[in-house]
Amino acid sequence: MAETLRLMAVHAHPDDESSKGAATMARYVAEGVEVLVVTCTGGERGDILNPAMDRPEIKENLAAVRQAEMDAAREILGVRQEWLGFMDSGLPEGDPLPPLPEGCFALVPLEEAAAPLVRAVREFRPHVILTYDENGGYPHPDHIKTYEISAEAFDAAGDPDRYPGLGEPWQPLKMYYFLTFHKERLLALHEVLVAAGKESPYLDWIANWEDRPMPWPLTTRVPCGDFFEVRDAALIAHATQIDPDGWWFACSPDLQREAWPTEDYHLARSLVDTELPEDDLFAGIREKVGA
What tens digit of pLDDT does each residue of 159-181 get?
999 999 999 999 999 999 999 98
Q: Give me the chain's average pLDDT, please.
A: 95
157 found inside a domain: yes
1 found inside a domain: no
44 found inside a domain: yes
Mean pLDDT to the nearest integer, 28-52: 95
In this predicted structure, what is the pLDDT of residue 131?
98
95 found inside a domain: yes
pLDDT at 1 over 70: no
Query: What are the start-end ranges of the H helices in 78-167?
Result: 110-124, 141-156
| Residue 164 neighbours by CB under 8 Å, 6+ apart | none
Q: Which residues of 216-235 are buried (b: 16+ CB within 10 A; e: fewer)?
A: bebbbbbebbebbebbbbbb
pLDDT at 276 over 90: yes
Please state the domain count of the chain: 1
**13 annotated to a ligand binding site:** yes
Q: Return the H-helix or E-strand segment holding 142.
A: helix 141-156
Asked if 276 and 221 count as a contact pair (C-beta separation under 8 A), the reply is no
86 φ, ψ (degrees, to nearest 5)? -85, 160
With CA atoms as reference, report the closest residue to 15 among 54, 49, 57, 52.
49
- Cα–Cα distance, 118 to 49 (Å, whole number): 33
**143 annotated to a ligand binding site:** yes
Mean pLDDT to the nearest integer, 65-91: 97
Q: Considering the chain, what percentage of its residues have pLDDT values greater than 70?
A: 99
**16 annotated to a ligand binding site:** yes
- Cα–Cα distance, 66 to 38 (Å, whole number): 15
Asked if 142 and 89 count as a contact pair (C-beta separation under 8 A), the reply is yes
Q: Which amino acid is at 187?
A: L
Asked if 100 and 146 count as a contact pair (C-beta separation under 8 A), the reply is no
- Eight-class DSSP state of 248: G
In this predicted structure, what is the pLDDT of residue 254?
98
In this predicted structure, what is the pLDDT of residue 94?
85
52 found inside a domain: yes
Q: Which amino acid is at 220?
A: T
Mean pLDDT to the nearest integer, 78-96: 94
Q: With cut-offs at 50, 70 and 90, classify the pLDDT of residue 67.
A: very high
Mean pLDDT to the nearest integer, 255-269: 98
198 found inside a domain: no
- Cα–Cα distance, 284 to 275 (Å, whole number): 8
Check which CATH number belongs to the domain holding 175 and give it.
Answer: 3.40.50.10320
113 found inside a domain: yes
Which of helix, strand or coil describes residue 108?
coil
- Domain residues for the domain of 84 are 6-181+217-251+262-284
pTM: 0.96
257 found inside a domain: no
